[in-house]
A and B are shown apart, each in its own frame.
Chain A
Amino acid sequence: MTKGNDSLDSLFNPRSVAIAGASPGKPGQLFLDSLLASGYKGQIYAINSKGESISGLKAYRSLGEVPGHVDYVVCCIPAPAVPQLIRECAAKGTKAVSVFTAGFSESGTEEGRRLEDEVSRAARETGVRVVGPNCLGVYSPRVGFTYTSDFPMESGDVAFICQSGGNSVYTTRAATYRGIRFSKVVSYGNACDVGESDLLEYLAGDAETRTVAIYIEGVRDGQRFFQVLTELACRKPVVVLKGGHTGAGAKAAASHTGSLAGSDQVWDRLLQQAGAIRVYSLEELVDVLVTLSLLPVPQGRRVGIFGGGGGATVLGTDDWSRHGFVLPPLPEAIGEEIRRSVPTEAGLILNNPLDLSSFAYSDRFYELIRRLLIYEGFVDLSVIHIGFGQAAWFSTSVFDAEINSFKDAVTRIRSEAGKPLALVMQYLITGWDWQKSIEDLQQGCAAAGIPVYYSMTSAARAIDHVIRYHERRRARGFD
């Protein structure tokens, strides 16, 4: 049987899907309902041993009974029955199976390991590709294929392969909310057949993918992984979060996905040599994806900071300085003009950072930021900083309108000036009514393609990552 990675196409473009173990109130039904709700265009079949209809679908007792062709099976049946299902898939002509069922090598038991060996043997012998076990499987928005109904059906150019199901859900949601769209996401669990290296090799050649994110707990074949990762990283930016990088975390990873984690120093060297960007938390992963996807690459480290109150500005300056950015003074002419036009108010800083708390979010705000943004030779990157919870007084009645005009100003600036521009929204999660307005602001900006961050530290860190990435590439002669 050939096992070229062309066969991975079947993971991402199934024309018909069957859910094995689609019983009421069980994960099988949840998979089924997610698929029904997501607008998947292909055929959907339910299979359960009792043949009882589910979610308005007739259920078949076995895969063999399904009348039409089945491209892809989502497996939710008990572990001992899984190897047999793989062979039935082969008989049916099914090309790919993702196995949600747990109780394999991650259990640490002899029985679990034996079962997993059987599954991979069945896959090897039949050519059926198996994702998992112990995973959520595939999200491929282009064909409306998903494991959770709230992922968007709009495609993007970021691919994410993730060894943990929960982390794949969290990251996909968090990134989606910030304006990122995915080409494909795979939660691949124990990786008994389709492994991280297969997926990365496939993504290197995938025309729909421009950026790759990885959450990985352990690798099966270190040498191959290094080779594949290096080749991929030459062509596309790759961001890697290693779960289980401490000794104790590695043990947790072993019982989570049966992974051998390897030492942290080895990983650090490997990722660096391969040219990947290493991050340490899911939040940082999302921040870097936001940067890679939405921010034009700054050509230097000169940053202009507009907005924020006095104290927030002092701390913001510290944050950007710590990450190697410099804040050039405002162009003299513009600085003079601003100082003339602003009435004195407590703690106002009228340079760079430019404290715009007295400007409200009027047309003047828009005009000024726009001028500064396109001012030749001033900065390489502009950051608009809006802090909530800092003002002693505010009027709820005007707040909504102000936030709206602020959103309009920022999105207008973004659409008119092609310069690198980011928004930092630093906010308290409070019970105040105006939370809704803040949310609208964030959504409006993300939808307009503006990178939005939640703190100056996280923005500076993520943008620094990306600038260093390009510096390294230039040094290697790639760019």
Chain B
Amino acid sequence: MGSLDPIFYPTSIAIAGASPGKSGQWFLDSIRTSGFKGPIYAINSKGGEVSGLLAYTNVKDIPGPVDYTICCIPAPHVPQLVRDCAAKGVKTISIYTSGFSETGTQEGRDLEREIVRIAQASRIRIVGPNCLGVYSPKVGLSFASDFSRRVGKVALIGQSGGNTSYLIRAASQRGVRFSKAVSYGNACDINESHLLEYLAHDPETEIVAAYIEGIKDGERFHRVLSRLSAVKPVLVLKGGYTRAGGEIAASHTGSLAGSAEVWDSLIQQSGAISVGNLEEMVDLLVTFALLPLPRGRKVGVFGGGGGASVLATDELTMAGFTLPRLPPELIKELMELFGNTAGMIFKNPIDLSMVGYSQSFYDVVKRLLSYSSGDSFDLGLIHAGFGQAAWFSSSAFEIEINQFRDFVTRIHRETDKPLALVLQFLITNWDWQKALDLQRGCSEAGMPVFHSMASAAKAIDRFLRYHEARQRAGKTG
């Protein structure tokens, strides 16, 4: 098969089924607000106008060349559209329409087979059906208008449109940027193996994430995944992992899910990283994309109240980290700086709740991170727990939190130690907005941000284990 480049870098796009108030118009509007530079055409069998564009009644009527078509017309008409697109010289058709193999009906399966036959006879490639298609920020192609226009190094392939959208949004918000993402649905032509094979050679992609419900060709998938995993970290979340979930996956994307045991051993053998849920996927993407690799497991935790520090220590210990004690001379230095107040621990975790988010916070953390001895930290975690303090003045908090963001991002910029922020906050009417501002500031500065000590510990542990396993296997990097 040829390169998949055309599906990611189209130069002209047509939307078939671009009727006002329907999904076709939403696709159209999303592309127009995402900065796509090439011509965009609307196709509507009834003609008319949509979003200010005059609609053509057929793809063949479009005067210029069309590279890429998004299909939103009813399933029975899709085969004819594929034929017309092939005749027009369209290279890729991404089919949003559902009603194919995922319905479990003979009619749906037949329709899907038919479009595959047409595609194979011509040279057109199909993404989907039953999918949202491609997000490729480099050319401004997107299926949602709020996705970032900045290009990154993470590629995502997702069999579910909703989960793909969620992952892009959640990871973007935490500072992860994408090279490309594909919601690929029923995978009747382009499937997970094609995509992974392509991504192995994609110079713009350094990390690969996949949400998969079922695979088309297990042997090939295994081969491709192993080859890809040898050169890039691959994070795989399996939807329909349980039997009941697998049955649902069948009616979602027509997938045969396979048993959990087979899946586990396949992932393990191929060297990919198995992920349990969407939140964990985001945590791992944040870690792999933003955190420099820690040299070891000695962690320093800065901040957090007394009880939060006790629980943080439990979480980190369970994930295999150690919290070395501070050397006595350093403790002495800190004691002289701050004195003692209720619940403060001049150990590790270093409870800085009474210091607030002042210059002293910056000074102490800088001092601790730069401290070098046999027991110096491999990794620093700044622990900000909102909702723990009994008293606060919202007006002062407003200022403090901005100060804190400035100090944290400054420390992050100035240190070469791996450093992350754990921002544990209550979702309440007064907390989230400020927490979000803080998160955004840190994420934009390229700092990994996690929402709990448990999730940070788990993700960074997976990161370390991935590299440890590679070292054992004699692979570097």
Contacts and interface: CB of A to CB of B under 8 A. Distances in A.
Contact of B160 (A257, A311, A391): A311
Nearest to A454: B427
B343 A429 contact: no
Q: Which 5 A-B pairs have the closest CB atoms?
A: A164-B307, A311-B160, A166-B305, A309-B162, A311-B163
A311 B307 contact: no
B161 A246 contact: no
A177 B343 contact: no
Contacts of A163: 307
B452 A430 contact: no
Given A34-B390, A166-B308, A177-B428, 5 more contacts: A170-B426, A249-B313, A311-B160, A392-B161, A439-B427
A390 B163 contact: yes
Interface in A353-399: 353, 387, 389-393
Interface string A314-327: 11011111100011
Contact of A169 (B29, B159, B241, B390): B390
B317 A102 contact: no
Interface string B143-166: 111000000000000111111111
A346 B390 contact: no
Contacts of B313: 244, 246, 248-249, 251-252
Interface of A: 27, 30, 33-34, 100-103, 106-107, 134, 136, 147-149, 162-170, 173-174, 177, 215, 217, 243-249, 251-253, 255-257, 281-283, 309-315, 317-322, 326-327, 344-349, 351, 353, 387, 389-393, 428-431, 435, 439, 442-443, 454-455, 457
A393 B144 contact: yes
Nearest to A168: B307
B189 interface: no
B307 A165 contact: yes
B89 interface: no
B34 to A, nearest CB: 12
B166 A256 contact: no
Interface string B433-477: 101100110000000000010100000000000000000000000
A393 B145 CA distance: 8
14 contacts: A166-B353, A170-B308, A246-B313, A309-B163, A311-B158, A311-B162, A315-B277, A315-B278, A317-B247, A346-B96, A389-B166, A428-B169, A435-B433, A455-B279
Nearest to B280: A457
Interface string B1-33: 000000000000000000000010010011000
Nearest to A163: B307
A390 B306 contact: no
Contact of A166 (B247, B341, B385, B432): B385
B169 A430 contact: yes
Contact of B387 (A173, A315, A443): A173
Contacts of A392: 26, 30, 132, 143-144, 161, 165
A314 B344 CA distance: 45
Contacts of A174: 387, 426, 428
B309 A102 contact: no
Contacts of A443: 429
B162 A244 contact: no
A181 to B, nearest CB: 15
Nearest to A101: B342
Nearest to A388: B166
A168 B306 CA distance: 11
B427 A177 contact: yes
B470 to A, nearest CB: 28
Nearest to A319: B277
B185 interface: yes
A62 B387 CA distance: 34
Nearest to B211: A311
A437 to B, nearest CB: 12
Interface of B: 23, 26, 29-30, 74-75, 96-99, 102, 130-132, 143-145, 158-166, 169-170, 173, 185, 211, 213, 239-245, 247-249, 251-253, 277-279, 305-311, 313-318, 322-323, 340-345, 347, 349, 353, 385, 387-391, 426-429, 432-433, 435-436, 439-440, 452, 454
Contacts of A101: 342
Contacts of A320: 244
A133 B435 CA distance: 31
Given A346-B131, A347-B102, A428-B170, A167 B388 contact: yes
B306 A346 contact: no
A310 B242 contact: no
Given A283-B452, A318-B245, A393 B30 contact: yes
A317 to B, nearest CB: 4
A311 B452 CA distance: 25
A469 B359 CA distance: 49
B163 to A, nearest CB: 3
Contact of B245 (A30, A217, A317): A317
Contact of A165 (B185, B241, B315, B343): B343
A311 B311 contact: no
Nearest to B432: A429
Contacts of B213: 311, 314
A375 to B, nearest CB: 20
Nearest to B282: A428
A398 to B, nearest CB: 12
A278 B261 CA distance: 29
Nearest to B316: A248
Contacts of B160: 309-312, 314, 347
B162 A390 contact: yes
Nearest to B429: A439
Contacts of B345: 252, 255-256
Which of B26, B387, B391, B454 has the most chain A CB within a 10 Å cutoff? B391
A313 B317 contact: no
A281 B458 CA distance: 14
Contacts of B454: 281
A249 B317 contact: yes
Contacts of A102: 340-344
B451 to A, nearest CB: 8
Contacts of A347: 98, 102, 130, 160-162, 185, 252-253
Given A311-B162, A389-B170, A393-B30, A217 B428 contact: no
Contact of B251 (A168, A256, A351, A391): A351
A170 B385 contact: yes
A37 B435 CA distance: 25
A317 B248 contact: yes
A313 B343 contact: no
B306 to A, nearest CB: 4
Contacts of B428: 173-174, 177
A244 B313 CA distance: 7
Contacts of A310: 160-162, 252-253
Nearest to A109: B340
Contact of A103 (B29, B340, B389): B340
B300 to A, nearest CB: 13
B306 A165 contact: yes
Contacts of A345: 98
A255 B347 contact: yes
B452 A346 contact: no
Contact of B440 (A27, A106, A164, A431): A431
